[in-house]
Amino acid sequence: MKSLNFVTLGLLVIGGLNWGLVGAFQFDLVAALFGGQDALLSRVVYGLVGLSALWQIAALARPGSRADVVRSA
């Protein structure tokens, strides 16, 4: 469980940095690396970031697991 929290947190950091690049410089790093926003691999990365966000929201909502999420980082 801790490793899954660590992986999802890492994906959220990557997604957040990507959105920061989009906002600041209109540059989508994921799309640039994987062949555009409509490319299958880009969509997989975007989907994984979205699922990671859902996982972290659920982890924060679980009783007693809040400290586990923080310690995993």
pLDDT digits (tens, 9 = 90+) for 22-65: 999 999 999 999 999 999 999 999 999 999 999 999 988 888 76
Which pLDDT does position 1 carry in this prediction? 77
**72, pLDDT greater than 80:** no
Provide the whole-model pTM: 0.81
Q: Which domain holds residue 28?
A: 2-72
Task: Judge residue 45's burial from the number of C-beta atoms within 10 Å of its C-beta, 0-12 exposed, 13-18 middle, 19 or more buried.
Answer: buried
**66, pLDDT greater than 80:** no
- Give the number of domains in the chain: 1
Terminal alpha carbon distance of the chain: 13
Q: Which two tokens stand for residue 56?
A: 């972290």
Task: Report how far residue 8's alpha carbon sits from residue 34's, in angstroms, rounded to the nearest whole number.
Answer: 20
Average pLDDT over residues 5-26: 97
Which pLDDT does position 62 carry in this prediction? 83
